[in-house]
Copies of this chain bind each other. A is one copy, B any other.
Amino acid sequence: MKHQHPHPEEHLTSSAMLQDIVIGLSDGLTVPFALAAGLSGAVDSSGLVITAGLAEIVAGSIAMGLGGYLAGRTEVEHYQAELAREYREVAEVPHVERAEVDELLAEMGLSPATRAQAVAELTADPDQWVRFMMKYELGLEKPDPQQARKSALTIGLAYALGGLVPLTAYFFTATPREGLLWSAVITLLCLLVFGYLKSRLTGQPPVLGALRMAGIGALAAGAAFLVARWIGG
Which residues of A come within 8 Å of B, CB atoms?
1-6, 19, 23, 26-27, 30-31, 33-35, 37-39, 42-43, 47-48, 50-52, 54-56, 58-60, 62-64, 66-68, 70-72, 74-75, 77-78, 81, 108-111, 113-114, 117-118, 121-122, 125, 128, 131-132, 136, 138-140, 202-204, 212-213, 216-217, 219-221, 223-225, 227-228, 231-232
Docked-complex contact B62 and A38, CB < 8 angstroms: no
Interface residues of A: mostly helix, strand, loop or mixed?
A: helix
| Known A-B contacts A26-B67, A216-B62; A114 and B108 likewise in contact (beta carbons under 8 Å) | no
How far is B139's CA from A33's CA once the two chains are assembled, in angstroms?
Answer: 36
Given contacts A2-B71, A59-B220, 14 further A-B contacts (CB under 8 A): A1-B71, A2-B23, A6-B139, A26-B63, A30-B67, A34-B63, A38-B51, A42-B51, A51-B231, A54-B228, A56-B56, A56-B224, A58-B227, A113-B117
